[in-house]
Amino acid sequence: MSRPPSPPPQLDGFDYVEPLGTGGFADVFLYEQQQPRRQVAVKVLLADRLASGAAQEFADEANVMAMLSTHPAIVTIYQTGVAADGRPYLVMEYCPRPNLQQRARTEPFSVAETLRVGVQVAGAVETAHRAGVLHRDIKPANILVTAYNRPALTDFGIASTTGAVDEAAGMSIPWSPPESFADPPRGGVRSDVYALTATVYTLLTGRSPFEKPGQRNSGADLISRIETEPLPPVGRADVPDSLMRLLARGMAKNPDDRFGSAVAFARALQKVQIELSHSVTPIDIVDDHPLDPDPEDDADGRTRVREVVQIDPGHTATRPSATTSPVLPASPPTAPGPRFDAPARTADDDETVIRAPQVIPPTAQAPVAPHPASVVPGSAPGASQSDPTVRRAPRTVDPVAAVPTATPSSAPPVEPPSAHTGSPRSRRGLVWTLAAMAAVILLVGGSVLAVNLLNAGAPSAKPTTAATAEPQDPLADLAPPPKDLVATPTGSGQVHVTWTNPSPQDGDSFLVTVVRLDGDGAPVKADAPEITIPAESGGKTCVEVVLRRENGSASSPVRGCTP
């Protein structure tokens, strides 16, 4: 049963409004700051904790949050002080919406919102780690939601340095890794990654990972399951297998089997967003060189956080890829008849010659060697298949010499008939026959030569392969993000949004998406740098704008909200 809140202190320059929550070490109250006038959350240490050393921990929390609170997913600290009754206090950003634990208990998050929140909080955790700070108590209740529908990590009260691997005091059991219950307890960067993954699991299911509805869920029960049982499935048909594998890896029993850093976990979430064709959420980190890059989280070895290029599936690429070979056009059709394709080359082949062997049908009648006077250079087989007295040798075509050559036959020569055999009429008939044969041979030989030259010409253009192509910069075509985004209410239930295109090009367009906590709206295309949209009911209206080029590349999203 929760206790009543402690009496709110009197603070100079602040007017008390109402209590916001209670905890084991401090209470949180809503105050209105007089100058500048705004609502703030004030965290006040309990009086009975002053003698236990909690005051120093309270001061340490203030220093850690002040160092990190410029991050968009970490609650901002405005000031600290000591009240008139001696209790230390922190003045923080007021986040009016229910925290993630309260929302998840009401209804599970959609897959799209879970991925977006996971990437944003992972950026905050990575920022803390790079500053040398372990949070050590990541859970849904410690992630508040700002007025702009963004998650904000808070409660660094038990934070420690990343080198403090033997501390685990104060952790929340349902989201803690197995090493937190060891003797002595251990913790590190991968322990925070476990708790971050367990938080994402909770958003999908509405309960902690090893909590079993209808069964005993005491601390001892949860510890036993965390240490020994596999991660239960989320039980949702809309959760892809890739996301379940991601959760199982992030919550592996052995820390070495988990993601090596929060940014590696965030990149894995981005890959699921791409798989599901969702908008890719940027990772908010200052430096693009991870503190602890995970060699397994990206197969191509890239460890930098890059802006994501959105690809239009209906767009046809106009540039050759560095990893594919161009497709050469098919050879032109030829007249019916045998086709002479170039054989595979061997090491002994002349690189400049493509030879096509002529195949003689096996059913041809056994030829007889002709009279020397009747052999016409360049004659082709099949030109006079009806004349059994002429032996035709297999031939090859040399496209460089452009003259068909005959291949000598290894068959033994046959004694030619006498030139004086037959009557003058027979000799005249033979002459006319040979002349007709020569004309046909020249015609067929020319056709064969043309076909071989055409077939030989196509391979001369050597295709570009991944091994020989010049490497391409995958970000060379990344469009610049829009600038000067302003969202202004029109007073008629609509919002007029304007922005500027930093580098206009022909065919530029824009995708405008309304950002909501319960899931982003469908993107709306705009051809000009302005659009009017319906205002969101009950609060601010926030939008994201993406510049898309005609060639299919896109910029990173830029977000803005109404005042």
Average pLDDT over residues 185-207: 94
Res. 477 pLDDT band, cuts 50 70 90: low
Asked whether residue 38 is domain-assigned, the answer is: yes
The residue out of 66, 94, 122 marking a domain boundary is 94
Average pLDDT over residues 18-37: 91
* Amino acid code (one letter) for 206: G
Are residues 73 and 181 part of one domain?
Answer: no
Res. 429 pLDDT band, cuts 50 70 90: low
Show the CA angle centred on residue 270, arms to residues 264 and 276, nearest 5°: 145
Lowest mean pLDDT among 127-136, 154-163, 242-251, 546-555: 154-163
Are residues 282 and 153 part of one domain?
Answer: yes
pLDDT at 425 over 60: no
pLDDT at 308 over 50: no
Res. 448 pLDDT band, cuts 50 70 90: low
Q: Give the model's pLDDT for residue 466.
A: 41
DSSP secondary structure letters along 443-476:
HHHHHHHHHHHHHHHGGGSPPP-TTTSPP--TTT
Are residues 198 and 168 part of one domain?
Answer: yes
Asked whether residue 286 is domain-assigned, the answer is: yes
- Return the percentage of the chain with pLDDT > 90, whole number: 39
Q: Give the model's pLDDT for residue 517.
A: 65
Average pLDDT over residues 154-183: 69
Average pLDDT over residues 350-366: 48
Give residue-wise pLDDT tens across range 133-166: 888 899 999 999 999 999 999 987 655 544 444 4
3-state class of 108 per DSSP? coil
Are residues 146 and 18 part of one domain?
Answer: no
Contact between 259 and 118 under an 8 Å Cβ cutoff? The reply is no
Of 87, 136, 249, 267, which is the active-site residue?
136
Nearest CA to 119 among 70, 159, 72? 72
Average pLDDT over residues 434-441: 74
Question: Which residues span the domain enclosing 516?
Answer: 483-561
Asked whether residue 378 is domain-assigned, the answer is: no
Q: Give the model's pLDDT for residue 50.
A: 76
Q: Give the model's pLDDT for residue 402.
A: 44
Mark out the alpha helices in 96-138 (DSSP H runs): 100-106, 111-130
Give residue-wise pLDDT tens across range 66-120: 888 889 999 999 999 999 998 999 999 999 999 999 999 998 899 999 999 999 9
* Domains in the chain, number: 3
- Residue 40 maps to which CATH number? 3.30.200.20
Q: Helix, strand, coil shares of the chain as percentages rounded to 5? A: 25, 15, 55
Which segment, 145-149, 424-428, 448-452, 457-461, is predicted with the most confidence on average? 145-149
For residue 36, whether the previous peptide bond is cis, meaning omega lies within 30 degrees of 0, is yes
Res. 473 pLDDT band, cuts 50 70 90: very low
pLDDT at 61 over 50: yes
Q: Give the model's pLDDT for residue 13.
A: 95
pLDDT at 55 over 80: no
pLDDT at 357 over 60: no
Q: What is the rounded average pLDDT for all residues in the chain?
A: 75
Lowest mean pLDDT among 69-73, 170-174, 445-449, 548-552: 445-449
- Residue 147 maps to which CATH number? 1.10.510.10
Asked whether residue 336 is domain-assigned, the answer is: no
Asked whether residue 139 is domain-assigned, the answer is: yes
Between 563 and 146, the higher pLDDT residue: 146
Task: Give CA–CA dist 504/546, Å, rounded.
Answer: 13
Q: Which residue has the tokens 């203030």?
A: 62
Asked whether residue 42 is domain-assigned, the answer is: yes
- Enumerate residues 6+ apart whose C-beta is below 8 A from 130: 285, 286, 287, 291
Are residues 142 and 254 part of one domain?
Answer: yes
Q: Per the structure block, which two tokens stand in for 45? A: 């240490």
The residue out of 306, 330, 356 marking a domain boundary is 306
Strand order in the sheet with 530-534: 483-489, 494-500, 530-534
- Return the percentage of the chain with pLDDT > 70, whole number: 63
Asked whether residue 34 is domain-assigned, the answer is: yes
Average pLDDT over residues 362-380: 45
* Amino acid code (one letter) for 97: R
Identify any residues that bridge with 21 across adjacent strands, giving them in sequence order. Answer: 28
Are residues 555 and 531 part of one domain?
Answer: yes
Are residues 102 and 83 part of one domain?
Answer: no
Are residues 128 and 15 part of one domain?
Answer: no
Helix (H) or strand (E) holding 143: strand 143-145
Task: Give CA–CA dist 53/25, Å, rounded.
Answer: 11
Are residues 169 and 34 part of one domain?
Answer: no
Determine whether 516 is an active site residue. no
The residue out of 258, 290, 306 marking a domain boundary is 306
Asked whether residue 426 is domain-assigned, the answer is: no
